[in-house]
Structure 1
Amino acid sequence: MKKIVCFWVLLMAASMAQSGIYKWTDSQGNVHFSDKPHRGAEVIQVPEAQTYSPPPVPETEKQNKAVAEDDETARGYEKIEIIQPENQATIRNNQGLVNVSVELAPDLKPGDRIQLIYDGEKLGPPQNTPNFILNNVYRGAHTIAVQVENAEGQVLTTSEPITIYMHRPRVGMVPQTRPAR
């Protein structure tokens, strides 16, 4: 059914493209135009549609800068470093929250993402911001690193891992109370 409808639509469009424009004057002197022939009508020749082809655009500084940026993209990142927390930092947080900040030079390029590595495993999906929040980090020593991945997931660069120490209170720890006097 769809093929038949498409056939008829194409047939009508082709016939409309072949039709001409007709001009005639009625008995009251009114001029009429139509795409259907009328008794006493004359065929009007329509000129070709006016078109414009712009001249080629000369190369500009912006294009040269884009080429230079492409060269920079091919070189990659010069610096990737975790700036917060510091290496060997001791973190005291009852909820186990750790804020991780990354310094990247040059800035993150379009399509690239930063992946957090926590104790040797990828943690969460890669993101395009240089700040992470770790939740519910257990007591003890942990390693953190980050890596930059391109849109295909290929690792472009990786930071040096840092070690942090999380201190949380014991479960069931009761504060000391003084006896009443």
Structure 2
Amino acid sequence: MKKLILFLSLMTLCICAASAQIYKWTDAQGNVHFSDVPHDGAEKVKINESQTFSPPKPINGNNSTLGTKDQTSNKPRSYTKVVISQPQNEATVRNNNGYLVVAVELEPDLTPGDNLQLLFDGAPIGEPQPNLSFQLNGIYRGEHTIAVQVLDPSGQVLNTSDSVTFFMHRARVGMGGGGTKS
């Protein structure tokens, strides 16, 4: 019972505070003051309603279009373009940490649920992902090939890019020129 009385008291205070009038006045030094108590020369401040948002109603209120969309999504999707745009084929990548960014271009855009799998020297590396770029670290020096597969939600390969060959160049300690050892 005490909790109910406390709750009702708090609700009454909230309602009173929400409906309180605000007054504004300027003192002799030119300072502007606001208060809930009127002073000489104070004017009422008009408080606008708080901003609200109502989401727009769907254009088509029935759910029949969702069913047809799901049915068409079961058809095999085809990607007309699956290309590795970075690095370019036969490129030399100079990075002492063996860092490489692989960028992929797709047409049409990746369908929700589909993922990309990076193949590094013929083997899958990392988990399939919906991102169009991959970041690799610690790549050993030498020649490597990469390709990208587009996978559907069940993991089936929908399309594969052409392989790109690149050469990782990492400087070695002691390869500097000119100095002599004593």
Q: State the TM-score, normalizing by the size of structure 2.
A: 0.58
- Secondary structure of the 2:113 match is coil
> Is 1:112 aligned with 2:114?
yes
User: Identity rate of aligned residues, in percent?
Assistant: 46
Alignment of 1:29-48 (within 5 A): none
Alignment of 1:94-173 (within 5 A): 94-170=96-172, 172-173=173-174
| CA–CA separation in structure 2 for the residues paired with 1:58 and 1:116 | 41
The CA deviation string for residues 16-53 of structure 1, in whole angstroms up to 9 with x for no partner, is: xxxxxxxxxxxxxxxxxxxxxxxxxxxxxxxxxxxxxx
After TM superposition, give the deviation of residue 75 of structure 1 in Å: 4.0
Structure 1 residues 124, 173: closer, same or farther in 2, change over 3 A?
Answer: same
Could you tell me how far apart the structure 2 residues matched to 1:95 and 1:147 are? 26
* Structure 2 residue matching 1:175: 3-state secondary structure: coil
**Structure 2 CA distance for partners of 1:78 and 1:71, relative to 1, 3 Å:** farther
Structure 2 matches for 1:53-68, cutoff 5 A?
A: 63=65, 67=69
For residue 151 of structure 2, what is the amino acid of its counterpart? E
Partner AA of 2:91 in structure 1? A
Which residue of structure 2 lines up, in the alignment, with residue 26 of structure 1? none
| Counterpart position of 1:74 | 76
Give the unaligned 5+ runs of structure 1.
1-56
Taking structure 1 as the reference length, the TM-score comes to 0.58
Deviation at 1:169, TM superposition (A): 1.1
Return the letter of the residue paired with 1:80: V
Q: What is the one-letter code of the residue matched to 1:91?
A: V
Which residue pairs with 2:86 in the alignment?
84
Q: Which structure has the larger Rg?
A: 1
Cα deviation, residue 72, structure 1: 10
**Counterpart of 2:76 in 1: which secondary structure?**
helix
Going from structure 1 to structure 2, the CA distance change for 1:89 and 1:97 (only over 3 Å counts) comes to same
| Kept in 1: contact 2:77–2:158 (CA 8 A) | no
Matched to 2:176, the amino acid is: P
Could you tell me which residue of structure 2 aligns to residue 43 of structure 1?
Answer: none
Contact 1:100/1:131 (CA < 8 Å) preserved in 2?
yes
Q: For residues 176 and 58 of structure 1, what CA distance do their matches in structure 2 show?
A: 75
Flag the 1:149–1:59 CA change in 2: closer, same or farther, 3 A: closer
Unpaired segments of 5 or more residues in structure 2? 1-60
1:173 positional shift: 1.6
Measured after TM superposition, the shift of residue 110 of structure 1 is 1.0
**CA distances 1:100-123 after superposition (whole Å, capped 9, x unpaired):** 000011111111110000000000
